[in-house]
């Protein structure tokens, strides 16, 4: 068990980002994510990276997009109100295919809400917060170790798929302290560089694949990048076929790679009659109840989602087809996750356990829900 350190969730995020090669942070103070900015301010200068405290969250995300366009691995960290402000430029990054990581440590909303308490009310905003059909990947750790590991995964997926990745975890996970191994066997992935000469270069030509090779500004490849619908050269177009082709490709590069992107953990599903389905801090209570139920001989399983978007509809459909199990879905919102699950498994019986008062969902609450189902 050597090498383990007692660290906070937000600290694990910083360590994971540095391990993944992040060298640029721009952000704005907001509870409960601020420790990430504070630690980045301390650590980035030590590795020659850039830390900037910006005038607001709009500037924060714009600045990290600029940094990423110039070739840096960059991130920002925020919470609900700041995440709302970032949406337009998150869409810009999706449209122009600039890799970056946005950490959203979630708190109660709407509006200023409950800044110091956990919530999972940003589940849908993380997917559909900005206008237009756009690609995004959303990852959700439920422990401090997973914050570290999934932060590295987030950068890797951003660089691999040239897409913004949102790391979504609630206040409880962000402020939790656990023993963590700050080491990873994950190889660090860097975005691919063009293989053609500057005179032949088309920034958004993807050949047989779906992912462009965008040269960093200043690398000798001069091109134009715009949030307007554009063609392979990067210049604006009003040609209907070109607009359609771009939008389909942007979304296909994620949809056609669901198998690689969707991460989850399954516990005792084979003979399960009841399955807990959760992400973030509710996983912790659900896991305890699931283990205790199994010890009593009850056929209870658990699915922990680590990738929230793209949503694993086929996984849930397959599990339901094999087990015909009932689902119990605990979440710190009115039911944003459960609504999405009902699209995957319309025939399944779903019991919702919702909490919206800032407190955790307790094992006792889930025990009671389980009794009602069994």
Partner 1 sequence: MNYKQMLRQNKMPHIWCPGCGHGMVLAAFLRALAQKELDPNNVAVISGIGCSSRASGYLDFNTLHTTHGRAIPFATGIKMAKPNLKVIVLTGDGDSTAIGGNHLIHAARRNIDLTVIVFNNNIYGMTSGQYSPLTPHMKLATTAPYGNFDYPFDLVNLAKGAGATFVARGATSQPRHLEKLISQGLDHNGFSLVEVVTQCPTYFGRKNKMGSPVDMLQWQRENTSTSGKEGTIPLGVFVQEERPEYGANYLQLVKTVAEGKSGE
Considering the complex, what minimum distance in angstroms separates the CB of residue 282 from partner 1? 36
Question: Is there a contact between 127 and 308 (Cβ–Cβ < 8 Å)?
Answer: yes
Considering the complex, what minimum distance in angstroms separates the CB of residue 237 from partner 1? 12
Is there binding between residue 204 and partner 1 (CB under 8 A)? no
Q: How far apart are CA 202 and CA 231, in angstroms?
A: 9
Q: Report the residue from 70, 183, 248, 334 that binds partner 1 according to the rule CB under 8 A.
A: 70
Q: Give 29 or 346: the residue with its C-beta nearer to partner 1.
A: 29
Q: How far apart are CA 104 and CA 126, in angstroms?
A: 9
Task: Pick the piece of the chain touching partner 1 (CB under 8 A) from 69-77, 156-164, 271-279, 299-307.
Answer: 69-77
Q: Which two tokens stand for residue 62?
A: 């714009």
Task: Pick the piece of the chain touching partner 1 (CB under 8 A) from 8-16, 101-109, 216-224, 241-249.
Answer: 216-224
In this structure, what DSSP letter does residue 71 have? T
Considering the complex, what minimum distance in angstroms separates the CB of residue 2 from partner 1? 28
Considering only residues 17-56, where is the footprint of partner 1 by CB under 8 A? Answer: 24, 26, 45-46, 48, 50, 52, 54-56
Q: Give 76 or 344: the residue with its C-beta nearer to partner 1.
A: 76
Question: Is there a contact between 350 and 342 (Cβ–Cβ < 8 Å)?
Answer: yes
Bridge partners of 355, per DSSP, are none
Q: Report the residue from 12, 67, 118, 345 that binds partner 1 according to the rule CB under 8 A.
A: 67
Q: Give 50 or 266: the residue with its C-beta nearer to partner 1.
A: 50
Q: Give 112 or 226: the residue with its C-beta nearer to partner 1.
A: 226
DSSP track, 251-308: HHHHHTTHHHH--EEEES-TT-SEEEEE-STHHHHHHHHHHHHHHTT--EEEEEESEE
Task: Pick the piece of the chain touching partner 1 (CB under 8 A) from 134-142, 220-228, 291-299, 325-333.
Answer: 220-228
Question: Is there a contact between 180 and 4 (Cβ–Cβ < 8 Å)?
Answer: yes
Say if residue 42 is exposed, middle or buried (CB neighbours under 10 Å; 0-12, 13-18, 19+): exposed
Q: Give 99 or 310: the residue with its C-beta nearer to partner 1.
A: 99
Longest dimension (CA), the chain: 69
Considering only residues 232-261, where is the footprint of partner 1 by CB under 8 A? Answer: 235-236
Q: How far apart are CA 241 and CA 295, in angstroms?
A: 59
Q: Which two tokens stand for residue 33?
A: 């994510």
Q: What are the phi and psi torsion angles at 151 (to 5°)?
A: -65, -40
Is there binding between residue 76 and partner 1 (CB under 8 A)? no
Q: Report the residue from 13, 17, 78, 92 that binds partner 1 according to the rule CB under 8 A.
A: 92
Q: Give 33 or 68: the residue with its C-beta nearer to partner 1.
A: 68
DSSP track, 118-144: E--TTHHHHHHSSSSS---EEE---SH
Considering the complex, what minimum distance in angstroms separates the CB of residue 108 from partner 1? 27
Query: Which residue in the block uniquely carries the two structure tokens 């950490």?
Result: 103
Q: Give 46 or 241: the residue with its C-beta nearer to partner 1.
A: 46
Q: How many residues bind partner 1 (CB under 8 A)?
A: 42
Is there binding between residue 224 and partner 1 (CB under 8 A)? yes
Is there binding between residue 121 and partner 1 (CB under 8 A)? no
Q: Report the residue from 5, 58, 192, 245 that binds partner 1 according to the rule CB under 8 A.
A: 58
Say if residue 311 is exposed, middle or buried (CB neighbours under 10 Å; 0-12, 13-18, 19+): buried
- Binding map of partner 1 across residues 130-169, x = CB under 8 A, - = no contact: ----------------------------------------
Considering the complex, what minimum distance in angstroms separates the CB of residue 24 from partner 1? 6
Q: Give 51 or 123: the residue with its C-beta nearer to partner 1.
A: 51
DSSP track, 135-188: --EEE---SHHHHHHHHHHHHHHHHHHTSEEEEEEEHHHHH-EEEEE----PPP
Query: Which residue in the block uniquely carries the two structure tokens 């691995």?
Result: 73
What SS3 state is found at 50? strand
Site residues (vs partner 1, CB under 8 A): 24, 26, 45-46, 48, 50, 52, 54-56, 58-60, 62-72, 74, 88-89, 92, 216-220, 222-228, 235-236
């Amino acid at each position: 068990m050597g090498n383990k350190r007692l660290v906070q969730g937000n600290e694990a995020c910083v360590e994971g980002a540095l391990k993944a090669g992040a060298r640029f942070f721009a952000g704005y103070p907001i509870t409960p994510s601020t420790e990430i900015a504070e630690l980045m301010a301390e650590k980035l200068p030590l590795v020659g990276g850039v830390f900037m405290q910006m005038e607001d969250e709009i500037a924060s995300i714009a600045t990290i997009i600029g940094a990423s366009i110039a070739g840096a691995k960059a991130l920002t960290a925020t919470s609900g109100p700041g995440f709302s402000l970032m949406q337009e430029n998150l869409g810009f990054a999706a449209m122009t295919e600039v890799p970056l990581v946005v950490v959203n440590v979630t708190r109660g909303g709407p509006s200023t809400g409950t800044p110091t308490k956990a919530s999972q009310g940003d589940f849908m905003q993380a997917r559909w917060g900005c206008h237009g059909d756009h690609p995004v990947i959303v990852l959700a750790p439920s422990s401090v170790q997973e914050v570290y590991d999934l932060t590295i995964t987030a950068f890797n997926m951003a660089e691999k798929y040239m897409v913004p990745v949102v790391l979504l975890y609630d206040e409880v996970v962000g402020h939790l302290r656990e023993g963590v191994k700050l080491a990873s066997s994950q190889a660090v992935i860097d975005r691919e560089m063009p293989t053609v000469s500057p005179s032949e270069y088309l920034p958004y030509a993807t050949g047989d694949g779906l992912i462009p090779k965008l040269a960093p500004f200043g690398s000798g490849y001069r091109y134009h990048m715009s949030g307007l619908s554009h063609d392979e050269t990067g210049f604006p177009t009003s040609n209907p076929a070109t607009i359609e082709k771009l939008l389909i490709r942007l979304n296909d590069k994620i949809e056609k790679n669901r198998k690689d992107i969707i991460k989850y953990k399954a516990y005792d599903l084979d003979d399960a009659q009841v399955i807990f389905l959760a992400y973030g801090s509710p996983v912790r209570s659900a896991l305890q109840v699931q283990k205790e139920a199994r010890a009593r001989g009850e056929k209870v399983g658990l699915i922990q989602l680590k990738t929230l978007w793209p949503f694993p509809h086929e996984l849930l459909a397959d599990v339901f087809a094999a087990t015909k199990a009932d689902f119990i879905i605990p979440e710190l919102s009115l039911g944003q996750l459960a609504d999405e699950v009902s699209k995957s498994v319309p025939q399944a019986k779903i019991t919702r356990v919702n909490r919206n008062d800032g407190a955790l969902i307790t094992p006792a609450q889930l025990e009671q829900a389980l009794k009602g189902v069994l």
